Structure 1
Amino acid sequence: MVDQFPDGFLWGAATAAHQVEGGNVNADMWAAEWAPGSRFAEPSGDACDHYHRYPEDIATLAGLGLNAYRFGVEWARIEPEEGYFSRAALDHYRRMVGTCLEHGVTPVVTYNHFTTPRWFAAAGGWNGTAAVDRFARYAARLTEHIGDLVPWVCTFNEPNVISLMVHLGLIPAAAREDGLGLSGDTDSQAAQSGGSWPAADVAVMAAAHRKAVEAIKSGPGNPAVGWTLALIDLQPADGGEQRWTATRQAAELDWLDVSRDDDFVGVQTYTRERIGPDGVLPVPEGVATTQTGWEIYPQALGHTVRLAAEHTRVPVLVTENGIATADDDARIAYTAAALEGLAGCVADGVDVRGYLHWSLLDNFEWTSGFAMTFGLIAVDRTTFARTVKPSARRLGEIARAGRLP
């Protein structure tokens, strides 16, 4: 098997604004964390103070040998009240992009990673009548300010997440036992979380995405634009074929269809789920699991990358893949096996543009608080001191070599 990755391959790590920045007080999620009876284990608070410490974090990433950083900009900071755009916040994110470029790091910028401004959530969130236009206006203003420097843009992070939750009863990037604090029917989800999660309906999010793409493509700059999808490796168990077909269609394929008109599709994969006649089956007895309770199954990445490439026929960028564990040796082993699957895709001619590990930092994992450690870098909860883990150095070595050891 060819273990070499193409020249120009993006090797990096990812974060989300709310999960690392701290002090995101104008976001719907902040309100949800502090609401009476909140399902969040703890509030995000100062998070990793990445808002102020990003120069150190980007320098560390570059020093490891990584050449790409996917990070989110926070809509609630940029447009804290409807129609008012903060020049200071826009300048902050332009400086972040500039810092990446100074270090030879390719910035991959996510315009919306779950959180929205409080005013947007209060107006009905993604089910509000003006949601599509509001997001496009924000995308246009942001692009106006940073577009000339940014080569890769993700409009939305995992817009299919609620659809997945509805069809599977799980959530891809938070503790699965309570799925981001959401439960029950989709109409009540935003109200229960105090936030504005993506609409379960692909048509709503696709419309917002398309209009935002149009705004971003108006310039300045000419970034590759796409969105990222949560792609669990769904597998049919005996008797579950019919349910598997329906679930995969609604929660993954319908969303991948939208990416056919994009420059790339972002694939975010952590594990597999086996579907029986009555739904998702429990993790097999005796199989190792992560802190989130997911099966450790690194082969999932190669499977979902192939699915995304075949279904969309556009280039694939792995925008998230990782493991919640306190055992860094397990992280090293998981990443190596996932990359082996990815190398197999490349060897078979799949157009894969990069691998961005989740996450750069041990961060705020939504309802689970800070208990889930996905990071390549540990963060002291009191002093914010960073400690680079061996897994970060190992990924950097692979990145520098451009091939698996």
Structure 2
Amino acid sequence: MPTFPDGFLWGAATAGHQIEGNNIRSDIWAMEHVTAAPFAEPSGDACDSYHRYEEDIQLLADSGLNTYRFSIEWSRIEPEVGQFSRAELEHYRRMIRACHARAITPVVTLNHFTTPSWFARDGAWGQEHAAALFERYVRYTVDALRDDVQWWITFNEPNAGALLLATGSLPLGAAADDLAEAQRGLMADFAARVGGTAGVASMAIPVLAPNAVENVFTAHRLARAAIKQIAPQSKVGWSIAVHDFQALPGGEARRDAILAQAIHPYWAAAREDDFVGVQTYTREVYGPEGRIVPEETSDTFLTGWEYYPPALGHTVAAAAAYTGVPVLVTENGMATADDDARIRYTRGAVEGLAEAREAGAEVLGYIHWTLIDNWEWHSGFAMTFGLIALDRETFARTPKPSLAWLGRVAASRGAVLNDELEPALS
């Protein structure tokens, strides 16, 4: 018997900057090209999906999946402050219609980390009018695309900075008050590249300063209200990154403090939304002395994360209980060169998701990260999360067995999970 209902969203996700290529007016592009940039390599052409999106969508549709989550790049829509590009808007309209032509539901993210370089120049989310500027972009975009999009995500992982602070890990250039001299130079070079002033210009991620965090919350509320006004039938939410935080005896206080700082405020804000996005890959376990670093195994992610498929079911159940709104899994997957491991991991995650549903959580869909091996921020192209392999010289796409496997799960609404003892397709 099928495990999941009709209308369940089965898909894969991407992000504009990570796959489109040459997103030259964004803050991340600017940072990629300064001296001592904190990236393994620049994004460059990425996957050239700006030109090859129809092929990507066709591969997704051919597999049996029914949903494509992708982002619109604000820096393309509004390349200079107050200057909007109708041509770029039409590009994204063509993408959306390419989805509909193949019976694919588009789930559109309005901000997946990157922002226009002019926004970064003026202080990113710390500037006084940040929320209003985001709302203006959202209104322009949604008004044009409202007839073709039902599902909108305002922000991808707006709590990323809070997670870094709560868990004690900050990337290069993140905390201006504590920068070493080399890091100060990095931020000065970035400011110069975007035409701003050192100490004012800032990348949009991670969001750390309290006023910037509040501006993001305000931007989400304003965007949600704008979308519901323009397209009342739309479903609106935001996607929150959450590990499966667990505690051994003596570690409960640390675990609970992380949840209180980095997860619960964002879930609380989602109570007024139509759904909450959950993005889970692994767990973190805390004991009396702090985080317990897991032993490395052959299945450890390329990112160093622990292989722990049940994490997804646990976080989905927690999000549903805390927010009281339906949950959409907007990211889940595994960075690995072993596609059999990816299938095993995904099977375990989806089985955990089914258990969460059976226990009462309302779950709207499962969207895998990611459709195609791409540029993974600080790691460059080294972290292969994709269901499709990419030849970076020719841009040839080669579907991995995991894509067909997940498509079979989708087409059967999970029924094949009951029949298959082994995940391989042979």
Regarding TM over 0.5, the answer is yes
* Structure 1 SS opposite 2:141: helix
Match in the other structure for 1:68: 67
In structure 1, give the amino acid aligned to 2:216: M
Contact 2:14 2:369 in 1 (8 A): yes
SS state of the match for residue 285, structure 2?
A: strand
Which position in structure 1 is the counterpart of 2:81?
A: 82
Q: What is the one-letter code of the residue matched to 2:107?
A: V
Correspondence for 1:174: none
**Structure 2 letter corresponding to 1:70:** R
1:134 aligned partner: 133
Which residue of the other structure, out of 219, 224, 229, is the alignment partner of 2:240? 229
Deviations 1:153-212 (A, max 9, x none): 000000000000111135xxxxxxx74x45546886997486211523443221110011
Match of 2:336 among 308, 313, 325: 325
TM-superposed CA distance for 1:220, in Å, is 4.0
Distance across 1 between alignment mates of 2:175 and 2:219: 25
CA 1:184–1:278: 2 relative to 1, 3 Å: farther
**Cα 1:266–1:182 shift into 2, 3 Å:** farther
- The match for 1:296 is 307
Render the CA deviation track for 1:94-138: whole Å, top value 9, x for unaligned.
Answer: 111111011000000000000000000011001111100000000
Indicate if the aligned counterparts of 2:296 and 2:306 stay in contact, CA closer than 8 A: no
> Which one of 278, 286, 297 corresponds to residue 275 of structure 1?
286
Aligned position for 2:276: 265
Which letter maps to 2:205? W
- The two structures have a TM-score, normalised by structure 2, of 0.89
Q: In the superposition, relative to structure 1, how do residues 291 and 359 fare at CA in structure 2: closer, same or farther (>3 Å)?
A: same
Distance 1:287 1:273 in 2: 18
Matched to 1:375, the amino acid is G
SS at match of 1:36: coil
Are 1:199 and 2:207 matched, yes or no? yes
Higher alpha-carbon deviation: 144-153 or 13-22: 144-153
Task: Report the counterpart of residue 387 of structure 2 in structure 1.
Answer: 376
Which ranges of structure 1 fall in alignment gaps of 5 or more residues?
Answer: 171-177
**Letter paired with 2:384:** T
- Looking at structure 2, the residues matched to 263 and 136 of structure 1 have their Cα atoms a distance apart, in angstroms, of 18
Q: Is the 8 A contact 1:151 1:223 kept in 2?
A: yes
- Give the equivalent residue in structure 2 for 1:45: 44
1:84 and 1:281 map into 2 onto residues whose CA distance is: 49
1:314 — aligned with what?
325
* Amino acid in the other structure paired with 2:30: A
Q: How does 1:121-270 map to 2 (within 5 A)?
A: 121-170=120-169, 179=171, 181-184=172-175, 192=187, 195-200=203-208, 201=210, 202-220=213-231, 222-270=233-281
The one-letter amino acid of 1:222's match is Q
Runs of 4+ more than 4 Å apart: 181-194
Closer/same/farther in 2, CA of residues 241 and 349 from structure 1, 3 Å limit = closer
- C-alpha contact 1:154 1:227 (8 A) present in aligned 2: yes
Partner in structure 2 of residue 56 of structure 1: 55
Aligned length: 396
Q: Pairwise CA RMSD of aligned residues? A: 1.8
Partner Cα separation in structure 1 for residue 283 and residue 47 of structure 2: 30
The amino acid of 2:148's aligned partner reads L
- Residues 311-343 of structure 1: per-residue CA shift (max 9 Å, x gap): 000000000000000000000000000000001
Distance in 1, Cα, partners of 2:290 & 2:176: 17
Unaligned runs of 5+ in 2: 191-201, 417-426
Shift of 1:275: 1.8
State the shift of 1:243 in Å. 1.4
Per the alignment, residue 193 of structure 2 pairs with none
Would the aligned equivalents of 1:3 and 1:344 in 2 still touch at CA under 8 Å? no
CA distance in structure 2 between the partners assigned to 1:187 and 1:139 by the alignment: 34
What is the CA distance between 1:281 and its match in structure 2?
Answer: 2.1
Q: Residue 420 of structure 2 aligns with which residue?
A: none
1:112 partner SS: coil
Q: For 2:300 and 2:59, how far apart are their aligned partners in 1?
A: 30
| 1:363-402 matches, cutoff 5 A | 363-402=374-413
160-169 vs 301-310, greater mean Cα deviation: 160-169
- After TM superposition, give the deviation of residue 276 of structure 1 in Å: 2.8
